[in-house]
Every structure is written in structure tokens, then in C-alpha cells.
Amino acid sequence: MPAKDIYHECVKKALIKDEWVITDDPLSLKIGQKDIFIDLGAEKLLAAEKEGQKIAIEVKSFVGKSEIEDLKQTLGQYYLYYKVIKYVRSERLLYIAIRQAVFERLFTLEIGKMLLEDNSLKLIIFNPEKEEIIQWIN
């Protein structure tokens, strides 16, 4: 099993504060003979539905030497996990959880705006000090 990101517990607490139930830590998906581990699985029951919304969350710290290298790795991982979730017919939506500071440094600039313009990348922006979710980007 892979090591947990340094903000793993922070994101977990933020999701719980936002009334999500953590269902998997980590979320394990099997594709053929390979196991894929996504950091967290969570569910939120909605009052009007019998079954709630289910999500998978990959937590990324962006603490490497280059944010662009971190971004390239994150996008590759996101694409792989997205395809696996779709292939195994999971009802979960995949999100990448990033700190508010990373979002402001990358996703308010042209490169980040370009990545968000087609709505295919889903993000959870969190504040690590307050252990709170600041914004959901669908």
C-alpha cells in the first residue's frame, strides 16, 4: 500500500466537518491482477435520496521541487484513476484535494484556467490550518 500524503488526515477531517462519511481509507479498486489505491472514499447522504453521493479523493501536497512536475504527475494519476473508476463501473466521482495556496499559485493562472475550462478536472480546495474545505470545483 502506498504511503499517505502529508495532508491526508487534514483532508479526512475537513471532509468529516463537511458532513461526509469516510467509507474507505484507502479506497481499493481491483483491475485484473492489479490493485489501485486511492487515498479516500467518502459518501454523503442526501435527504431526498435513498443512496447518497459517493466520491473518491486523491490528496496531493505539491511540495516537490517543481509545481509543474507535481502537476504533471497529479494529472497522470488523475487520468489513470478516472479510467479505472469508469472501467470497474464505480458510482464514485473522482476529486483531487489540494491546498488553497496551491490552487491560488497554479489554477488562477493561465495554465490552471486552461485545465479547468472543460470541467473534466474535479478539485477540492482545502485550508490545512483550519482543516476545512474552502471550495469544490466540479
Average pLDDT score over the chain: 93
When divided into structural domains, the chain yields a total of 1
Report the distance separating Cα 59 and Cα 4, nearest Å.
9
Note whether residue 12 is domain-resident.
no
Query: Which domain covers residue 35, as residue numbers?
Result: 18-53+70-100
Q: Which of 113, 138, 115, 114 is nearest to 125 (CA)?
A: 138
Note whether residue 130 is domain-resident.
no
The C-alpha cell that represents 39 in the structure block = 487515498
Note whether residue 4 is domain-resident.
no
The C-alpha cell that represents 29 in the structure block = 479498486
Report the distance separating Cα 31 and Cα 99, nearest Å.
30
Report the distance separating Cα 82 and Cα 94, nearest Å.
6
The C-alpha cell that represents 23 in the structure block = 467509507
pLDDT of 4:
85
pLDDT exceeds 60 at position 137: yes
pLDDT exceeds 70 at position 1: no
Note whether residue 78 is domain-resident.
yes
pLDDT one-digit tens code per residue, 89-129? 889 999 999 999 999 999 999 999 999 999 899 999 999 99
Query: What letters, b where the CB count within 10 A reaches 16 and e where it falls short, cover 62-87?
Result: beeeeeeebbeebeeebeebbebbee
Report the distance separating Cα 15 and Cα 21, nearest Å.
8
Note whether residue 32 is domain-resident.
yes
